Structure 1
Amino acid sequence: MNEYLDVTLASLRDGYVQVSAFVAVTVLLFGLIQYRTGGALVAKIEENERLQPVFGALMGLTPGCGGAIVMMPLYIRGTVSFGTVVATLIATAGDAAFVILVLAPEAALYAYGIAFVTAVVFGYLVDTVGLGVSRVDAAVAKLDPATTDGGTAVVGGGNRLGPNPGHDYDGANPAHSHEHGPDRENAILTPVSHAAHALWWVAATMGLVLGVTYLVRGAPDVAMEYGVSFDGLFTIFGLLGTTLSFYLYFVGRHYIGEGSVGRARESFESAYETFQHAAMETSFVTVWVIGAYLLYEYFLIVTGADIAAAAQTAGVLAPIAGAAVGLIPGCGPQIVLSGVYANGGIPFSALTANAISQDGDALFPLIAIDKKAAIVASIYTTIPAIVVGVALHFIWGPVLGMPSFGFGVLG
């Protein structure tokens, strides 16, 4: 039991300082840009049709799913091409990017660089050859005209159809909204939740300082202790940040609003709303990160498995498996896989294949509005993932002489 307790406390602490604090800064910066520009970034993307796949890939490349989520309603409105959607999803590394950026920054640079190039090339290919809406939606319309999303008719980025007025993106999932309603008003929990939100940002700020210091020191082992020393503060603010994240995600969002988690808006009405969105989004990521950490650590304790040895024997099946995991919507499985890579459990080819294949949370709004387009987009992101992953398996180590396992992992 002591082993389980040690692993649990270490995961709760490390997950927040090593990952969540960095997530908070990234999500907040993106939100502040949207707030300060009033959605001008989105307007620029709509205006530059020829560069849309590049813009889509850049939006997808931003850590987390915020940039990619912004692109989905643009396609639904018929203002960006299907190739842009595919490029966005290929480049999207989701919340798993934070894990790799923090724990294996060199690997992240190469993996996401390869994903970006793949995204741009394949995005333009989809638009140029006409593999997007010009064929898919036409076939869907013959089967069931009512399900056609009114998206872009793609060949060279032009010839747009108007948005379908029957689709209500903002109200696509009202059952999960806590932005309004009587449950927001509570004499005790509403002010407590706002106070927890403010304290959460204190923990996030301290966590960022401690996290940067941790990396500068070369990611040393941190003792589980409490006090004013580096190790003590690392433990205190790590556990405090995780505790507040769990509270905000499971309780607080009912009383102060969830900040449109998973549905990034084009702009925000106030600075407080921007900070709230970043806190809620990061709390969601924290829950997944901690869950992934614990799942991996408990699995090793119970089974005594040597994942690295198993991956070594998988050979070319490793990148194919990485691409297959990317088919699962959401960021949870991808975070788990990234954690396994950070522990030297899977090769670089599998990490890159997963980075290309996964769509993160960005696929959910597309699924809600146009399931067929979401399925086609998922297939289109998996094909280049397998091709690139298998190619890396035979080139990365044998030809380039790069280490396949543990490449870029700290410590």
Structure 2
Amino acid sequence: LLCCLVYPPLRDITLTALQDAFFQVSVFVAATLYIYYHLIERIPQLELSYLANKSPTLEIFFAALLGALPGCGGAIIVVTQFTKGQASFGAIVGVLTATMGDAAFLLLATKPIEGLIIMAIGLVVGVTSGVLVNIIHKKDYLRPNASDQLADCVTQPTKAVRLSKSVWKVAIIPSLIVAILIALNTDFNAFSPKLTQMITFFGALMAMLAVTTWAFSSKGKSYQDVASEEECPSPPSTLYKVLQDTHFVTAWVVVSFMLFEILVNFFGFDLKLWFSHYVYLAPLIAVLIGFLPGCGPQIIVTTLYIQ
């Protein structure tokens, strides 16, 4: 990323990708996770393991409902629960089938009726898929061993995470306000071109902070270290857990945004041309794009639909 920022032909592309990753994804992920973790502390009944013991179908429904909500946060919550051995494989299938990620914000802001219809369809298909998967497979199918995940547990957050926490505490509220305005297609140029430039640099700086913190937090010895998602069973604070998940997601989203921008600007990859010239293959093309990690590709396809 630093090399891309230094190289003039890639500088603007990189700044835009970093800004989009932060304001379109990272901020909403952090806000959603923070709300959920606080709710879990006060209402333990919202834990997927508790719901699964009451009713497997209820677990799937709640997982799919989290996925149907706008943003990536719901999906990340369920995946995290699964890696800790507290959710079934059906819950994973349900949430990932139901989710639109951050593309939901864009769709709801521009075409609210279509957005709500797609969310409802995603919820129904997600619940159905999750229930069928749990009927076919055992509850612990592909579930990681929780004890293995905690084998190399770090007792305290790294210095990088502590520094990041201090910055996020100050930046989260103004960042969320800007992110909501961007999701509502607000034209900041109408106020001042300098304001747009300031927002771009701020978003890029925060995205770089997230990616750098994630890189310095990972020892790479286990899945837990590589993801930098989970602290010990009793982490120092909820905010540390939120930031670790957010940093991990940000890294993947930045990668997907950068890859797409490079393909478009340097290799002539034109999605709009693909969809117009190969109409009969449009659903398959969209599915393949959906396989790419992060919300970026989904947001791009949703933008093409809106246009």
Q: CA deviation at 1:250?
A: 0.4
Q: Is the 8 A contact 2:230 2:245 kept in 1?
A: no
Counterpart of 1:198 (choices 159, 163, 166) is: 166
TM-score if structure 2 supplies the norm length? 0.74
The answer to whether the aligner puts 1:37 opposite 2:43 as a matched pair is yes
Larger Cα-atom Rg: 1
Q: Is the 8 A contact 2:189 2:196 kept in 1?
A: no
- 1:10-409 aligned at under 5 Å gives the runs 10-38=16-44, 40-42=46-48, 43-62=50-69, 63-64=71-72, 65-69=75-79, 72=82, 86-93=93-100, 97-98=101-102, 100-105=103-108, 106=111, 108-124=115-131, 132-133=136-137, 151-152=138-139, 169-173=145-149, 179-180=153-154, 190-191=158-159, 193-216=161-184, 218-220=186-188, 230-253=195-218, 261=227, 269=234, 272-324=236-288, 328=291, 332=293, 335-344=295-304, 406-407=305-306
CA distance in structure 2 between the aligned counterparts of 1:276 and 1:311, rounded to whole angstroms: 42
Range 8-17 or range 274-283, more displaced: 8-17
Q: CA deviation at 1:26?
A: 1.1
Q: Is the 8 A contact 1:245 1:287 kept in 2?
A: yes
Partner amino acid, structure 2, of 1:241: M
Deviation by residue 1:288-327 (Cα, 9 ceiling, x = unmatched): 222222212221221233321112222232213433555x
Aligned length: 288
CA distance in structure 2 between the aligned counterparts of 1:223 and 1:290, rounded to whole angstroms: 28
Q: CA deviation at 1:217?
A: 6.1
The structure richer in helix per residue is: 2
SS of structure 2 residue aligned to 1:103? helix
CA distance in structure 2 between the aligned counterparts of 1:268 and 1:36, rounded to whole angstroms: 17
Deviation by residue 1:337-380 (Cα, 9 ceiling, x = unmatched): 31431441xxxxxxxxxxxxxxxxxxxxxxxxxxxxxxxxxxxx
TM-score if structure 1 supplies the norm length? 0.58
Q: CA deviation at 1:119?
A: 1.9
SS of structure 2 residue aligned to 1:104? helix
SS of structure 2 residue aligned to 1:20? helix
SS of structure 2 residue aligned to 1:171? helix
Q: CA deviation at 1:285?
A: 1.7
Q: CA deviation at 1:245?
A: 0.4
CA distance in structure 2 between the aligned counterparts of 1:193 and 1:120, rounded to whole angstroms: 36
CA distance in structure 1 between the aligned counterparts of 2:61 and 2:205, rounded to whole angstroms: 40
Which runs of 5 or more structure 2 residues have no equivalent in the other structure?
Answer: 1-6
Q: Is the 8 A contact 2:63 2:91 kept in 1?
A: yes
Q: CA deviation at 1:25?
A: 0.5
Deviation by residue 1:371-403 (Cα, 9 ceiling, x = unmatched): xxxxxxxxxxxxxxxxxxxxxxxxxxxxxxxxx
Partner amino acid, structure 2, of 1:275: L
Q: CA deviation at 1:32?
A: 1.7
Which runs of 5 or more structure 1 residues have no equivalent in the other structure?
Answer: 134-150, 153-162, 345-405
Runs of 4+ with deviation above 6 angstroms? 222-225, 262-265
Aligned identity (percent) is 20
Deviation by residue 1:114-146 (Cα, 9 ceiling, x = unmatched): 22111223444566xxx513xxxxxxxxxxxxx
SS of structure 1 residue aligned to 2:207? helix
Partner amino acid, structure 2, of 1:91: A
Partner amino acid, structure 2, of 1:318: A
Deviation by residue 1:49-85 (Cα, 9 ceiling, x = unmatched): 45343223224335433332256369x67x86x6555
Deviation by residue 1:195-225 (Cα, 9 ceiling, x = unmatched): 2321133233321122223345634559997
CA distance in structure 1 between the aligned counterparts of 2:43 and 2:299, rounded to whole angstroms: 35
CA distance in structure 1 between the aligned counterparts of 2:14 and 2:144, rounded to whole angstroms: 42
CA distance in structure 2 between the aligned counterparts of 1:21 and 1:85, rounded to whole angstroms: 23
Change (3 A) 1:19 1:84: closer
CA distance in structure 1 between the aligned counterparts of 2:181 and 2:92, rounded to whole angstroms: 38
Change (3 A) 1:269 1:343: same
CA distance in structure 1 between the aligned counterparts of 2:136 and 2:57, rounded to whole angstroms: 16
CA distance in structure 1 between the aligned counterparts of 2:192 and 2:253, rounded to whole angstroms: 19
CA distance in structure 1 between the aligned counterparts of 2:163 and 2:229, rounded to whole angstroms: 24
CA distance in structure 2 between the aligned counterparts of 1:216 and 1:92, rounded to whole angstroms: 20
Change (3 A) 1:220 1:341: farther
Q: Is the 8 A contact 2:65 2:95 kept in 1?
A: yes
Change (3 A) 1:126 1:240: closer
